[in-house]
Structure formats: structure tokens, C-alpha cells
Structure 1
Amino acid sequence: MEISAPQDEVVRLCQDLIRIDTTNYGPDGEGPGEREAADYVVEQLREVGYEPQLFESQPGRASVVLRIPGADRERGALCIHGHLDVVPANAQDWSVDPFEGVIKDGCVWGRGAVDMKDMDAMILACVRHLARTGTVPPRDLVVVFFADEEAGGVHGSQWLVEHHPELFEGVTEAISEVGGYSVTVPTPEGGDRRAYLLQTAEKGIVWLRLRASGRAGHGSVPNDDNAVLHLAQALSRIAEHKWPREYIASVRGLLDGLSEITGTGYSDEDLEELVEHLGGAAGFVRGSLQDTANPTMLTAGYKHNVIPQEAVAAVDCRFLPGHEESLMATIAELAGDRVVVEVEHRDIALDSPFEGPLVDAMKAALLAEDPEAAILPYCLSGGTDNKALSTMGITGYGFAPLRLPADLDFAPMFHGIDERVPTESLEFGAKVLLRLIETC
């Protein structure tokens, strides 16, 4: 009987996963959790003879772990991980049902198609192929499908690292999401060239709650101690602050490489023309040039004619490696003495080298399928579960390989509307990921 290749079933697996609603509403919200999707993953792995482990940090918040022994048990193991949860999707904003997993215009559509049930499907397809063919990877593989990445991993990667560190024994490196996808950029000769962005760094996270207090009163009476005004002034100062730029190694490597490919020069003060060549991915790159602080939620008051005694805002801060203390000091100064700054969640920044055997293997796997492409490092302005793994000394990279059409505005679909991934890109990614697994 002919054994199907990973690319033959990756689209189906992606559709199946999208159809399982795993919306994560954050620490203050309820949601379906990841258990149904985790059970599906377990079923797909058991079907080919594996015996994965399922862990729940609390009811419904489920992660799946599988260790596949390699040929050389003495080598450091590789962790390949994805997350099963997705951010919310308002169906009224979408042109398709975000949880239908429909194929339309050559793409799989739905919440998680980009972040990151596409990579989950590639991982599943590849390890199922290993089992069917009896292939032994060069070193141990620890395959993990985490819960709760979209809320900082408290009930997923962080919980597993804290409560079950034995699962990651011997792991030295890891790969996961938001890297390895292509952008198409112009060349000086008037043509185009694909460049794959291999994620080697990511900014740190601090989710803050700014809490302003004042004197409650009637809306018709002048009030010089208005909590809403105190908060609005603090947010205005934060919004107007010009964060200084710093070009870490991964950012410099990306800019230099992009400049060489496109023939577009740049300076530290003037790089917009160069960055615009990246299309939708330019936003991620702009976010990696300096620390950022963006208000995301506001809560104040309960009636039109009542001045409330408290107003609260959520602020999403991201900092470059080594900048956590300076960012916190700056936010405290900008918030002022009428606003209290509370930390809801914080996590570290990462910076990994764009060299070494694993990086070489990732490059080789991509170039084997797309020989004329360029491969560049970049810093992710967001964060991944590699943060939790790094506390165990595990070096992490973003590598979810996708060869994308030049006209697909891919990066803005992370957490966006009408999220979708081309079926051909999924098939390409499954082939590249399998090649990496078999050679690294």
C-alpha cells in the first residue's frame, strides 16, 4: 500500500483543527479551552502507533506532548512545538465562517489558519509520516502542542515547564511559529526574489494595567480630580513618547540583507523606503526597531451623568532585549503620580544566533525546495512559547515554512480578519519541515 506523504494530508489536518473552536479570551474571560483539539491531536497520533501524553493545567486547558526517540540519543533533542488556542474572531466581520475551515480561492480560511493551526497541521503530518515509514530522526524529537499561548502561556508552556520539566530533558533547541515564511521583494534588475524570514529574536512582553483614581461626583459639577481625565492624560503622554531606536543583530542582518537584494540603501534615520519592500511584513519589522507601548482596552464609568472614581486601561508593552527596566521606568514616568501602574503579565525577550547547525539545516531545507531564494534573520515584535522554553536553556527559533504568493498580504492576517493560508503553501511547508526533521 502506498504511504501518503505529509503534503497529501496537511490541508485536511489544518481544516480539521480550524473547525475546533479553541478561542482564548484571556485570563479574565471564559472560553472553550483546547481539550477538544488536544483530543483530536492525540487521536491522530495514536492512529499511527504513537502514545502521546495529555496534560491539563486546569479543566479544558490541555497540552499534548510526544517524544520520538532519535538515532543518536546522546545528542541534544529538538523540540518542535505549536499552540492549539486562537484569538477571538467576530464572525460578522469575516466574509466566511471563521470556524468552518472552508477552502476558497486556493486557500484554507479560518481563525488559526495563520496563527498557528497551519504549523500544527504541518507538524502532525510530518510526525505521522515518520511513524508510517518507520523513519528514525537523527536525534530525539519532543513534539508539543501547547495550550494558552495567546494569553502568555500561563496555562500552557509556562505551566508545563514549571510542573513537568522532565518532559524537556535533554532538549537544547526548539522551533515554532512566526518565521520561515516568504516575502517577495524587487531586485535592481527589475525582477523579483523571494526572501524567507527566519525568526532569531523576539521582543519581551509586559502587559500593564493603568489605574487612575479620582473623586466621584455628578456629571454637571466641575471636578478637578476626574479619574477619566487623569487616565486620558497618561495615555496621551505614552502615545506621544518617541521611543529611541536600537538595531539589534537580527534587525541589522535583515536590513543589510534586504538592502543587498533590492539595491535600496538606508540609514539608521531613514529606512522607510527599504522597509516598505517587505509589504505586510513591514509592520513586524517596524515594531522591532524600538520598544513600544500600545493601549488596547479602556474601562471607566457606569452612567452618563456620573463621574467615576476609577478609570482603567490595558497597555501592551514590548521591549527589545535588555530594555525591560528602562521601559518600565519610562512608563512609570509617563503615567504620572495620579495613575498606578500594575503588571498583569511579563515575559522575557529572546535573541538567538543566526548561525550553527540547526540554522544551517533550516536554510538547507528551504533552499532544497526553493533554490533561488534568500534567507534573512528577523526579530519578531510579538512573542512565542519559546520564551518559556528558554528558561530551561533551550535556544528557540521561529520556523513555520511557507512559500507565499507575492500578492498575498500575509503578515497582517496574524490576529486579523479573513485569516487564510494557501493550500500550496501548506504543502510546501510540510515538505520543508519533513526535510528538516530528517536531516537536523
Structure 2
Amino acid sequence: MHKEPECSLCILYGCLEKEILFQSSNRKGMLLIKILHTADVHLDSPLRSLATRNSELRDIVATATRTSFSQLVDFAISEAVAALLIAGDLFDGKERSARTGAFLTAELARLGEAGIRVFYIKGNHDAENPITGTLDLPSHVHVFDARGGSEQLTDDVWIHGVSFADRHAPDSLLPRFKAPIPGALNIAMLHSSLGGAAGHDIYAPCSVADLANMGFDYWALGHIHKRQVHSEAPWVVMPGIPQGRDIGEAGQKSATLLMIENGRIEVTDVPTSVVEFAHIELDISGADSDEVLRGLLKTSLTTTRSAASAPACVTRLTLTGRPARHWHFMRDRDVWAEQVNDLAEAIGDIWIDKLVFDLLPPTTAADTNSAADELAVTMAAIREEPGFVASAREEIETILQELPVALRDKLVADESAQDALLDRLTKAGSELVLAQMKGAGN
């Protein structure tokens, strides 16, 4: 029986299909690989905020670091990433917690069930946490030790890392890294302060130039809590803390998603905050009545809540400017603090950490009050008298002794801090007396 020859077009399509399949299986980086990079999770680290003063926010704040990490795991699973990189300080400190260990084990198990590998290096906080040495981690989790090592993720992607041996790492850890794998895409994990940053101790110091000279394609860093991309060739990325812990760590926090395709790396940030801190400075110079001030406050809080992408927002609101009703606002600042809390509650999902009055007094002739001005001069002089200072310091010390040690140490870490506290309190008292006198009758 005669068989019809295949048409030339069909033969061409068949050959082309085979070539595509061959290239897809052999060409380096042809398939898209996703990797999620985080650091400084600080599980169970307390959020220093108004949590103890606000019952509605207390539960959110108490579990914020855990919730943030759980959301990271959710994202990793939904995006089908190949690996999660944790570049140090997964834990917060020395405290041993069975609950934290159980929580982490469950979250890591979720990643394993989804086929996602985990690569983890210990930072300064992890090195002193006993949990890190006692948890029986599943096989899909690799913890790099202080000697350094390399692990293969895919045919063409290798992960390298070095952990802290103990809390202090005064010298560079770069000599402990093995050379990059030739012909592969190499990712290195390091917990380092680089050249240093405000609010962070110097650990494993090195420069961006030092990292670039090592020959790796991506540096997955940790330690500094503010996100920063230091370089793109090679990539040098500090993802920042995934959950801010106080007003000093304001703004949306994130992790970093790597997308590797055709041997190239692209990165994007992934929002992770459960509670977002914000610092507002509001100029109220034009507030010539209580009604106008309430309107300014409401608008500012509404705008801040709209700009925040986290489920909850905690803000410190600082009032600035030189309003005509300066003394009235200062006199009634406790009342205004309550009104601001009420406004925030009405808006929803925004809470006030602190209301700060940083106002300048008016300079008009109408503000003159000879008795009050004379009293102001007298109070300023009294504040400088050695006898008054000694008596006030004694009163403060008596009050401080009634506080828990941890809170006392936080308020007055040393003698200079105690002197600064004394100065703030006596100044605030003087201002309150003046405000009551100059704002009287209105």
C-alpha cells in the first residue's frame, strides 16, 4: 500500500518542536527560577509601642513578627519559589521558647510540603539563641555553619553561606567563602554591617567593593534593618527587617524576590508588614480655632492610613508651627490627645503611639502677659538652682526605684540620661504652668 509522504511543512514543525524541547532542557537558565530573600525576622521580638495601653491592638502587636513570617511562607508557596533564604537573625535573643520552636517547625514543614528548600545562616542574635542548636530541622532546611559551605539548588544555581560562630564577629567573614562554581549562577549569604550604619553594631565588616570582587552574582545580606540595594552588578541587597518594631523603623517593610531567567537576575520587593509605623509632622500654624485643628488632624490621619499598606498602622503625630492659639492648645494637650485617639478610632486600623507638641509661641503684642512672663523667668532660674536640681533628682530616683528594672534601665540607662529626663520633666512642668496662665479664660 502506497503511503503519502509527509508534507514539508509538517516535517519542519516537527523538527522545530524537537529543537525547542531540546533547548528548554539544556540551555542554562532557560526556565524561570524564583527565590525569596529575607533576614532579621527576630521572631517574638516585642514591638515597642502602645500595645500595653490599647487592648484592641495588643493581640496584633504581640504576634506581629510571627504573622509576618507566616505571610512570607504563604507568599513563597503561592509563587512556587525554589528556595527561601534567611540571612541571619531569625531569632531575637537569648530566650528559649518552646512555642517559638514549635511555630518555626510548623512553618518550615509547610515549605517542605510545597517542595521549597530553605537556606539559613546564623547572625549575631541567632548565635546566642539556644533554640538554633536544639531544633531538629527537616532535611529540606540547610543551615550553613561558621566554616562556610556551598549547596546546589538546581543544575545551574548554587547557594553559598557563612554563619556567625558566636555573637561577635569583629573581622570580615569573606575569607571563609569558597570560590564561586564556574559556569553557574552563584548566590552568597552574609550577615554583615558592611561599613556600618546608625543604630547597628559593627559585625563582619566589609565593603561593597569587597563583595563585588568575590565573583558571586547575588549577595543576600542581613543585619541592617533598612532595605537597600547597594549594587546591581553584582546584586548586593539588604532586604531590611520584614516587620518594623517601633517608630524608629517606620514605613512599609519587605522581603526581596529574585527572578532568575536566561542567567539574568531581576529583583522586586514583597510587602511583609503586619503593623506599619509612621511618623507625621503636621504644621498647625493656620489653626485659629479648635474646629480648624480637628479638621487638620482628621485629614492627616486619613491620608496616613490610606498610604499604609499594612493591616494596622501606628503613628507618632508631632504638631509643629506657630499657631495663634498656641497657649490654648498647650493648656489642653491632654484633651487633644484624647480627641486624636477618638479620630483615629473613627478612621479605623490606625492607632496613636504618641502626640507630641513641638509648637512655637506667638510673637504678637496680644500675647504679652507681664505676670506670666515674669513667672517664666523665675521658673527658668529656679530650674538652674543646685538645691532644686538635687531635690528634683531625689524625687525622680524615688519614683524610678518603684519601676521594674527593665523599664528603669530603658528610661535612664546612665547618669546623663537621668539628667536629661530631669530637664525634660521640669521644662514640661514650666510650660504647662505658663499655658494655664496665658490660655486662661478661652
Give the alignment's TM-score, normalised by structure 2.
0.24
Which structure would you say has the larger Rg?
2
**Which structure has the higher relative contact order (CA within 8 Å, separation 6+)?**
1
Could you say which structure has the higher helix fraction? 2
Give the alignment's TM-score, normalised by structure 1.
0.24
